[in-house]
Amino acid sequence: MTKLSSLSNIKSIASGVEHVVCLDFNGNVFTFGYNDFGQLGLDKIRSKKIRFTLTPQNVDIPPTTKQVACGAYFTVCISEKGNVCVFGSNLEGQLGLKSISILSPIRLKTIENIDFVECGRDFVIYKTFENELYVSGANNRGQLGTGSIQIS
């Protein structure tokens, strides 16, 4: 076991297949690991795309994040006000956008007032402050609960 001395004051941790996201008590987000789909959210602050990073890097989003969650190759961040910021793979539409991959954090304008998020491999479930549920992404096994199976 090795201590990660570069991180402190960590509130929560989420992990995908080969990436890790840490949230500190000040609302700052740090990522490390594999980045081929932009799941680390670092490409905006780098002059070239990085394939991976061995040390935690601060993600360039406002320090108001209250929750982080990961799917296989994507990341979702929820702010105190209920805004959603996403980055990484969108091959199954899990990020709710038209691009295949989102290399830098982007705020979703189509959904807000989010209280909590949970991610599966290629899908996302959002719970609003009003206790409504919204889903996006892969539904080839009915995992979105929509009453039908959708294969992309």
23-53 pLDDT tens trace: 999 999 999 999 999 999 998 655 567 889 9
| pLDDT the model gives residue 50 | 82
| pLDDT the model gives residue 57 | 95
- CA–CA gap between residue 60 and residue 82 (Å, rounded): 18
- Give, for 78, the enclosing helix (H) or strand (E): strand 74-79
Verdict on whether the full-model pTM lies above 0.85: yes
| pLDDT the model gives residue 46 | 55
In tens, the pLDDT along 66-111 reads: 999 999 999 999 999 999 999 999 999 999 998 888 999 999 999 9
Reply yes or no on whether the pLDDT at 119 is more than 60.
yes
Let me know if 116 is exposed, middle or buried by CB neighbors in 10 A (0-12, 13-18, 19+): middle
| pLDDT the model gives residue 146 | 87
Let me know if 91 is exposed, middle or buried by CB neighbors in 10 A (0-12, 13-18, 19+): middle
Domains and CATH numbers, the chain: 10-137 (2.130.10.30)
| pLDDT the model gives residue 45 | 57
- Which residues neighbour 151 within 8 Å (Cβ) at sequence distance 6 or greater? 139, 140
Q: What is the rounded (10 degree) CA torsion for 139, 152, 32, 13?
A: -10
Nearest to 68 by CA among 117, 111, 19, 121: 117
- CA–CA gap between residue 20 and residue 125 (Å, rounded): 19
